């Protein structure tokens, strides 16, 4: 099959988070070629007419959508699937509506809260805290950007009143631009749960096999919930804020990068918590009508209660990223993972 691999144009001098997108394109191209597909990369920018011409030249039967931003702006992520919808070309991953809803953190939190799913209280420019109003620790996040862009330990602060929270958001906007929201900071453990389309048909992945193992779901069309991963801060000294910021993800020479690790090993006592995380991840898949693949990020507070931080409708597929690391835990090959994603395209 002829498959166009669509990605956002990467400007000269772009940060490592955007540069990683090119490595992702090369990796997906290589795996699809091994599967016998004919591939070609299509770079998308704000010049949509040029993108349209590229697609016309390639004439793909399917587009593998890896676009995470346009012109470096995460707020434009939905333009890629919207363009493909208009052209009637089938593509992988979430549809336009789901991409928009999950990428805007404020809309995502409203949707989660409206469905009764746990997400930390928040404050935006137009909204007051809805669940917790007392003094506490907050974290300021970009409304649109993912990959921890603009996020570091300085993003976490104590506020005794709402005016302080508003001031912190205003300071961020002044220094970094864009739109921001503040979210109650959940001190505790951090988890990622990945999901991939396609029922599990391999008996060795049955629920009772192990703590943290994959959960095959009985209904046709449900995704496979991959083994949860915990992001550990074991190397952090006492008092240092434990947050997966930009340095922890992308600056390989930083302390945070070296001291933040991913683990799939859990004691039996974590079994109820892991089961709950999987249930919530599946609830997010259904709520946002996700497709192909996704990852849900959680924090778990001191009382053991999970909170949904973000729903990522197109997590990174680079071989070193968390999604394929989770797939590897059940011996799912790169080829099988990408095949499942392609088979769920529409």
Q: What per-residue confidence (pLDDT) applies to 175? A: 66
Q: Check if the beta carbon of residue 37 is closer than 8 Å to that of residue 1.
A: yes
* Rounded CA separation 243/105 (Å): 17
Helix 105-114 to helix 96-103 angle (10° resolution) is 100
The percent of residues in the chain predicted with pLDDT above 70, rounded, is 88
Over the Cα atoms of the chain, what is R_g? 20
| Environment class of 269 (CB within 10 Å of its CB; exposed 0-12, middle 13-18, buried 19+) | exposed
Tell me the per-residue pLDDT of 106-142, one tens digit each, with 9 for 90 and over. 999 999 999 999 999 998 876 665 545 568 899 988 8
What's the confidence (pLDDT) of residue 49?
87
**If pLDDT is split at 50, 70 and 90, which confidence band does 346 have?**
confident
**Structure tokens belonging to residue 273:** 């918590």
Residue 338 predicted with pLDDT over 50: yes
pLDDT tens readout for residues 232-265: 998 899 889 898 888 888 888 888 888 899 999 9
pLDDT digits (tens, 9 = 90+) for 270-317: 999 999 999 999 999 999 999 999 999 999 999 999 999 999 999 999
Q: What is the pLDDT of residue 221?
A: 60
What is the C-alpha to C-alpha distance for residues 240 and 74, in angstroms, rounded to an integer? 29
**What is the pLDDT averaged over residues 14-34?**
87
How far is CA 287 from each of CA 42, 102, 115, 283, rounded to the nearest angstrom? 31, 11, 8, 6
β-pairing, 122-123 vs 180-184, is antiparallel
Q: Residue 8 forms beta bridges with which residues?
A: 44
Distances 104 to 64, 73, 262, 280 between C-alpha atoms, Å:
22, 12, 26, 19
In angstroms, rounded to a whole number, what is the distance separating the alpha carbons of residues 59 and 81? 16
């Amino acid at each position: 099959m002829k498959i166009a691999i669509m990605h956002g144009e990467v400007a000269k001098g772009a940060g490592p988070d955007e540069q990683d997108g090119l490595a992702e394109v090369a990796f997906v191209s290589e795996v699809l070629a091994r599967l016998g597909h004919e591939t070609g990369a299509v770079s998308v920018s704000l010049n949509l007419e040029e993108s349209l011409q590229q697609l016309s030249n390639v004439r793909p039967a399917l587009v593998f959508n890896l676009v995470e931003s346009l012109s470096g702006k995460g707020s434009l992520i939905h333009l890629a699937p919207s363009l493909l919808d208009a052209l009637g070309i089938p593509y992988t991953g979430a549809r336009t509506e789901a991409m928009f809803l999950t990428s805007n953190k404020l809309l995502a939190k409203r949707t989660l809260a409206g469905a009764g799913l746990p997400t930390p209280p928040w404050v935006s420019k137009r909204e007051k805290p809805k669940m917790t109003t007392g003094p506490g620790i907050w974290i300021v996040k970009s409304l649109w950007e993912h990959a921890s862009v603009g996020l570091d330990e300085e993003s976490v602060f104590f506020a005794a009143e709402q005016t302080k929270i508003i001031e912190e958001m205003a300071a961020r906007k002044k220094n970094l631009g864009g739109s921001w929201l503040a979210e109650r900071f959940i001190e505790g453990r951090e988890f990622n749960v990945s999901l991939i389309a396609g029922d599990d048909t391999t008996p060795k992945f049955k629920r009772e096999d192990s703590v943290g193992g994959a959960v095959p779901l009985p209904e046709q069309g449900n995704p496979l919930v991959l083994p949860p991963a915990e992001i550990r801060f074991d190397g952090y000294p006492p008092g240092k804020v434990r947050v997966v910021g930009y340095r922890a993800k992308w600056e390989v020479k930083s302390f945070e990068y070296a001291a933040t690790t991913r683990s799939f090993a859990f004691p039996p006592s974590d079994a109820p918590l892991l089961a709950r995380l999987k249930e919530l991840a599946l609830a997010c898949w259904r709520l946002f009508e996700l497709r192909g693949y996704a990852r849900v990020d959680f924090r778990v507070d001191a009382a053991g209660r999970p909170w949904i931080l973000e729903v990522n409708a197109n997590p990174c597929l680079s071989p070193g990223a968390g999604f394929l690391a989770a797939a590897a835990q059940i011996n799912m090959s790169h080829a099988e993972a990408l095949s499942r994603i392609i088979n769920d395209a529409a």
